[in-house]
């Protein structure tokens, strides 16, 4: 790291107690820890977080961030005592009004400006702190590191808010991510340095230890000077792991269409490398992954057969909560509470008294406040431009929060020029969690996802035929299927459904409609309860981390939560893996075992007509139907046949089962 040309003094002693040879008042550079610098970082973080909360409550966040669960929660909070009705139940993206689009655009642009400013400012303050290592003390560098943490929090939140903008603007995304990775790398390095000598509560006049008043360079020359340093691994490693994981997930999400589920996209990338040997095209892989995602949500959704208030799986509650933006509020609350507490405790570190010169308004503080003022000016300009857009006659669907509209375009609309029509042919379909699955297009094998066009609503309480569609994959491909018994046990764990209902989902026969009002209201209440628990744990961890270094409670809570989320992610991945393998077996069976792909036939022919027909019945809520009952009866009969242990035909012959099986399923044993 170089040398300080003989000006380095690592023998100074600072103590909060009256001790010989030690100083209690520590000199602090106001350009590093002055009121102006602190206010700049503090206000930026709190302001963006406040806008984030305001945008959520007023439905002013980018619409792709909000799930149907968020709308249900807000509806419940506004009208707590009024029961849900059909009009309150949401499914898929909600069309924003002109006012909501206007506010959403302001939030997006302001988050983009403030995030970029904090990215550069935080990066610069760390570079300056490390470059002045011969003059800056541990006390000052601790404040610098915590200010950089507030900057990294602000930038991380801004990336979350401008995800749609970054996905559409490739070059802006590339430059942003380059600076983000560089900023995160240097922050981790500085954070680890900051915790090498972090515990200064029991400062003594020993000459073999470092002191908060020593220069940062003393750390790099501690061995040469015979000084002791202490690395607080328990304090630093968990924070570094959490920040790294959050940044990895956030960066990956910028490469996934914002209306799609990035976890499913991750599974698609993971599975793509394992199917090359099966000659499975990218088109088919995409189809199988997103079909498995849709089946996974269909399996979790509560069954509404024969019950007014169905039993709901705990996994369904958890998936809805983590899919909702409400869980993000709890996450970011923990992050900002940790950052603010870090600054407060850093200034009073070890009971030392900062020198009076800290109150002076220096050059660095004026510059920091000037940068903050520049952000407000930019926000004002965005607001004025948005007013111009609001006064125009642009159609609502052209007020894209992630793009800018040329004034000439506004003038042409005012003059009565025709606006280009939006092609609705690529409208997206949505899975049971409200995330877009896209529409399968053979000309685009990578960008869009697919959804199965089997939409027989077997769970709706009563239905009548309202449309005709093609039903897929109702053939019996058990001859080519592998046994997924253990995965099936994991899938069925905690889900109050029967094996017949699982067979229906496996075959692609499941509901695509929204939850009924009773389910939507119940899930909203549980999601709010989960949010309060999550928020309490996040605040306890963020603030309690600094209260008492001997209290390991916040650390234990953080580690347990990381472990819990890891197990939950593994279970989610394996559950979807089960349905993916079913899709893969179906694909292999259709291409490698055509002789087995014959429809099952039950004596009497009442079910043969349903399966042999190239058409299926789409059911809607609010009517009566016998189709779902007969389908369940069909799979009830077939379930016993599918779940029997695989055996060779000559073995069946030996034990005399062939006549019995042929009598039950004649067509499956012909020839």
pLDDT tens profile 516-528: 888 888 899 999 9
- Is the pLDDT at 167 greater than 70? The verdict is yes
Residue 646 sits at the vertex; the CA angle it makes with 640 and 652, to the nearest 5 degrees, is: 90
Whole domain around residue 89: which residue ranges?
25-259+324-401+516-551
Q: Dihedral (C-alpha) 87, 91, 97, 100: value to the nearest 10 degrees? A: 120
82: in domain: yes
Helix ranges, 203-275 (H): 217-220, 222-225, 233-253, 262-272
Which stretch of DSSP H or E encloses residue 284? helix 282-300
| Alpha carbon of residue 267 to chain centroid | 14
Q: Which percentage of the chain shows pLDDT scores above 90?
A: 17
Rounded to whole angstroms, the Cα distance separating 132 from 144 reads: 12
- pLDDT, residue 320, reads 92
Residue found under tokens 């089946």: 295
What local confidence, expressed as pLDDT, does residue 134 receive? 81
Structure token digits, residue 122: 């935080």
Q: Dihedral, CA atoms, 182, 184, 190, 195, nearest 10 degrees?
A: -160
Task: Tell me: pLDDT of 329 over 90.
Answer: yes
Compute CA 316 distance to the chain's CA centroid, rounded to the nearest angstrom.
16
Give the residue, 129 or 310, on which the prediction is more confident: 129
Mean pLDDT score, 280-291: 77
Task: Enumerate the H helices of 479-603 as residue ranges.
Answer: 485-492, 499-506, 517-547, 553-592
Residues 602-618 as b/e (b if ≥16 CB within 10 A, e otherwise) read: beeeebbebbeeeebbb
* Number of residues that make up the chain: 671
CA-to-CA distance for 298 and 509, rounded, in angstroms? Answer: 9
**Where is average pLDDT lowest: 193-207, 299-313, 501-515, 560-574?**
193-207
Report if residue 387 sits inside a domain: yes
Q: Residue 159 pLDDT more than 60?
A: yes
* Residue 399 binned pLDDT confidence (cut-offs 50, 70, 90): low
Looking at per-residue pLDDT, the higher value among 370 and 537 belongs to 537
Q: Which two tokens stand for residue 462?
A: 């009563």
Model confidence band, residue 438 (pLDDT cutoffs 50, 70, 90)? very low
Residue 398: Cβ within 10 Å count: 16
E-state strands within 541-651: 616-619
Q: What confidence category does residue 530 fall into, taking pLDDT thresholds of 50, 70 and 90?
A: very high
* pLDDT of the residue at 260: 76
Residue 604 C-beta-side C-alpha neighbours within 13 Å? 5
pLDDT at residue number 450: 33
Helix 499-506 crosses helix 553-592 at what angle (to 10 degrees)? 60
Q: Which residue has the higher pLDDT, 479 or 450?
A: 479
Range in 218-222, 235-239, 398-402 with the lowest mean pLDDT: 398-402
Highest mean pLDDT (candidates 87-96, 319-328, 575-584, 658-667): 319-328
Tokens 């029967």 found at: 498
Q: Which two tokens stand for residue 417?
A: 């020029």
Q: Is the pLDDT of residue 400 over 70?
A: no
pLDDT higher than 50, residue 384: yes
pTM of the model: 0.73
Mean pLDDT of 547-566: 85
Structural domain includes residue 268: no
Q: Work out the burial of residue 408: count CB atoms within 10 Å of its CB; fewer than 13 is exposed, 13-18 middle, 19 or more buried.
A: exposed
- The answer on pLDDT for 272 being more than 70 is no
Q: Does 52 reside within a domain? A: yes
> Does some domain include residue 92?
yes
CB 137 within 8 A of CB 95: no
Cα separation, 299 vs 437, whole angstroms: 16
* Whether the predicted pLDDT of 58 surpasses 80: yes
The answer to whether residue 132 is domain-embedded is: yes
User: Is 229 domain-assigned?
Assistant: yes
Number of DSSP helices (H) and strands (E) in the chain, helices first: 24, 4
> What is the structure's pLDDT at 392?
61
Distances 549 to 544, 554, 556 between C-alpha atoms, Å: 9, 10, 13
Q: Is the pLDDT of residue 442 over 60?
A: no
What's the confidence (pLDDT) of residue 53? 95
In a domain? residue 86: yes
What is residue 393's predicted lDDT score, i.e. its pLDDT? 55
Q: Is the pLDDT of residue 452 over 50?
A: no
* DSSP letter (8 states) at residue 392: S
Q: How many domains does the chain have?
A: 1
Rounded Cα distance between 144 and 137, Å, is 10
Report the candidate in 348, 357, 434 with the shortest Cα–Cα distance to residue 64.
Answer: 434
pLDDT for res 52: 94
Q: What is the dihedral of CA 496, 498, 501, 503, to 10 degrees?
A: 130
Is pLDDT at 154 greater than 50 in this prediction? yes
Task: Decide the pairing of beta strands 616-619 and 25-26.
Answer: unpaired
How far does the chain reach from its first CA to its final CA, in angstroms?
Answer: 82
Q: In the predicted model, what is the mean pLDDT of residues 1-25?
A: 68
Distance CA 517, CA 41 (A): 44
Question: How many CB atoms neighbour CB 354 within 10 A?
Answer: 19
The reported pLDDT for the residue numbered 514 is: 65
Mean pLDDT value across residues 412-435: 39
Q: Give one word for 656, left, alpha or beta, with left for phi > 0 and alpha for psi -120 to 50.
A: left
- Confidence band (pLDDT; 50, 70, 90) for 13? confident
Choice between 618 and 531, residue whose per-residue pLDDT is larger? 531
In 3D space, the residue among 312, 313, 307 whose CA is nearest the CA of residue 461 turns out to be 307
Residues 188 and 276: beta-carbon distance below 8 Å:
no
Is 410 or 116 the better-scoring residue by pLDDT? Answer: 116
The pLDDT of 653-659, averaged and rounded, is 46
Provide the 3-class DSSP secondary structure of residue 353: strand
Residue 475 predicted with pLDDT over 90: no
Q: What are phi and psi of 404, to 5 degrees?
A: -110, 150
Q: What percent of the chain has pLDDT over 70?
A: 60
Tell me what pLDDT residue 330 has: 95
**Model confidence band, residue 106 (pLDDT cutoffs 50, 70, 90):** confident
Nearest partner of 112 among 404, 406, 402, 325, judged by Cα: 402
DSSP label at residue 226: T
């Amino acid at each position: 790291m170089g040398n300080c040309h003989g000006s380095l003094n690592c023998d100074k002693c600072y103590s909060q107690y009256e001790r010989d040879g030690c100083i209690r008042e520590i000199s602090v550079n106001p350009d590093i820890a002055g009121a102006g610098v602190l206010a700049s970082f503090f206000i930026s973080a709190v302001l963006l977080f406040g806008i984030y909360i305001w945008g959520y409550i007023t439905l002013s966040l980018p619409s792709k961030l909000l799930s149907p669960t968020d709308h249900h929660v807000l509806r419940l909070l506004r009208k707590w005592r009024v029961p849900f009705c059909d009009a309150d139940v949401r499914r898929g993206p909600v069309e924003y009004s002109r006012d909501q689009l206007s506010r959403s655009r302001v939030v997006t642009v302001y988050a983009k400006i403030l995030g970029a400013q904090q990215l550069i400012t935080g990066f610069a303050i760390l570079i300056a702190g490390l470059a002045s290592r011969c003059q800056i003390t541990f006390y000052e560098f601790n404040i610098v590191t915590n200010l950089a943490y507030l900057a990294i929090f602000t930038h991380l939140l801004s990336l979350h808010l401008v995800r749609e903008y970054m996905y559409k603007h490739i070059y802006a995304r590339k430059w942003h991510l380059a600076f983000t990775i560089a900023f995160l790398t240097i922050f981790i390095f500085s954070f680890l340095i900051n915790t090498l000598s972090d515990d200064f509560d029991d400062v003594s006049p020993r000459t073999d230890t470092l002191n908060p008043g020593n220069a940062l360079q003393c750390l790099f020359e501690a061995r040469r000077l015979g000084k002791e340093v202490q690395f607080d691994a328990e304090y630093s490693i968990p924070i570094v792991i959490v920040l790294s994981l959050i940044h990895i997930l956030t960066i990956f999400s910028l490469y996934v269409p914002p209306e799609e589920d990035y976890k499913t996209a991750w599974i698609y990338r993971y599975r793509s490398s394992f199917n090359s040997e099966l000659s499975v095209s990218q088109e088919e892989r995409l189809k199988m992954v997103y079909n498995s995602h849709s089946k996974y949500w269909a399996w979790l959704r509560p069954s509404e057969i024969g019950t007014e208030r169905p039993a709901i799986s705990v996994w369904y509650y958890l998936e809805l909560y983590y899919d909702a933006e409400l869980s993000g509020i709890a996450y970011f609350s923990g992050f900002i509470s940790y950052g603010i507490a870090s600054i407060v405790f850093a200034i009073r570190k070890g009971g030392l008294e900062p020198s009076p010169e800290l109150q002076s308004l220096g050059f660095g503080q004026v510059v920091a406040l000037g940068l903050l003022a520049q952000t407000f000016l930019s926000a004002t300009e965005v607001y004025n431009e948005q007013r111009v857009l609001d006064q125009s006659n642009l159609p609502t669907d052209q007020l894209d929060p992630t793009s800018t509209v040329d004034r000439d375009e506004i003038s042409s609309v005012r003059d009565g020029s025709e606006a280009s029509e939006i092609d609705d042919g690529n409208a997206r379909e949505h899975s049971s969690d409200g995330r877009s699955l896209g529409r399968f297009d053979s000309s685009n094998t990578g960008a869009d996802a697919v959804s199965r066009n089997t939409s027989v609503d077997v769970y709706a309480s009563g239905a009548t035929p309202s449309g005709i569609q093609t039903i897929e994959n109702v053939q019996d491909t058990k001859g080519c299927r592998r046994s997924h018994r253990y995965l099936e046990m994991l899938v069925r764990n905690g889900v109050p459904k029967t094996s017949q209902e699982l067979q229906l989902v496996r075959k692609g026969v499941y509901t695509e409609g929204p939850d009924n009002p009773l389910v939507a209201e119940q899930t909203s209440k549980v999601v709010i309860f989960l949010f309060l628990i999550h928020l309490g744990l996040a605040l306890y961890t963020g603030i309690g981390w600094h209260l008492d270094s001997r209290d390991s409670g916040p650390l234990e809570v953080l580690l347990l939560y990381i472990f819990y989320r890891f197990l939950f992610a593994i279970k989610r991945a394996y559950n979807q893996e089960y349905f993916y393998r079913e899709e893969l077996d179906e694909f292999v069976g259709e291409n490698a075992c055509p002789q087995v792909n014959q429809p099952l036939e039950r004596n009497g022919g009442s079910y043969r007509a349903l399966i042999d027909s190239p058409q299926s019945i789409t059911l809607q809520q609010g009517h009566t139907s016998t189709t779902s009952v007969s389908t369940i009866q069909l799979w009830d009969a077939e379930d016993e046949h599918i779940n029997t242990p695989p055996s060779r035909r000559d073995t069946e012959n030996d034990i005399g089962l062939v006549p019995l099986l042929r009598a039950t399923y004649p067509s499956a044993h012909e020839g």
